[in-house]
Each structure stands twice: as C-alpha cells, then as structure tokens.
Structure 1
Amino acid sequence: MNIELRASSDVLLVQIERKGLTVETHCRSGFCGMCRTRLVKGQVAYEEVPIAFVNEGEVLVCCAKAKTDVTLEI
C-alpha cells in the first residue's frame, strides 16, 4: 500500500499515525530499524544519523522528516 505525505517538520511516523495507519515500530528513535519502509518518491532528512542501517530507497519513519512531499510503501 502506498501513502502520500506532505513535507513537514513532524517525523513521518507522526503523519502516518494521524492518518489512522500503523507501522511496526519499537524504539521510535532510529536505533532498531523495525520501522524501515520503502521510499517510493521524494526526499527525507534525519536530524541525527540513525544507528540502524538504511539501504538506498528506504527510510526509518520514526525519525525521518519529509523535505519534499513523499510517497511511502507501507
């Protein structure tokens, strides 16, 4: 399922939860990588580099913020 989110100062997970959707999470801080999601379109930024490994085309929704409008596959 793809969802679209707007550029925002909120982390992606907060935006997802506002839509009434859920993503599997644990640490909510970029440590565990459980919320790893496919980034279909757009750009994100992290205030701090996450500890969990993130492949190209993936994003940790618990700690990433959308720099542009984004599309995620959840």
Structure 2
Amino acid sequence: MVEAYLLITTPAGTARSVLSEIRDLEATRRANVIAGEFDIIATVEAADTQELLVLVTEEIQSLENVGRTRTCVVLE
C-alpha cells in the first residue's frame, strides 16, 4: 500500500467544488481546503506507485479547475 499527500491548486473561488470531487474519489482518505501556496491537501492510498500515478495523472489532474499538483509519497 502506498500513501501520499496531494497538494492541489485551484482557480480563485473553486476550491470547495474541487474539494467535493476529490472527496468522492475512492482512494481519498481525507481532504481539506487549506491556506497558503496550495488550496487543497488530500491524503490518498493506492495499491502501488503505478496505481498512484494513474490516480494523480488521470483522475485528479483531469478534474475541472485542478491546476498544479504536488505529490508527497509517505516513506515511514
């Protein structure tokens, strides 16, 4: 099992709608709107790094109003 934190930027005024879509994903364990350089932080789980890659690049980055993402894989 691979766990990761995803940091996501969104255009102004869209963070809450994107948050709702992120929370609906099966892989999402927790997601919140945050202040600072990024707008949303999500904790996700995947079976392996390949599944994590698909989750980030095909599911999350393809959502409307998702801008830049940063993936932080949990090591310990």
TM-score under structure 1 normalisation?
A: 0.29
Provide the TM-score with structure 2 as the length reference: 0.29
Larger radius of gyration: 2
Of Structure 1 and Structure 2, which has the larger fraction of its residues in helix?
A: 2
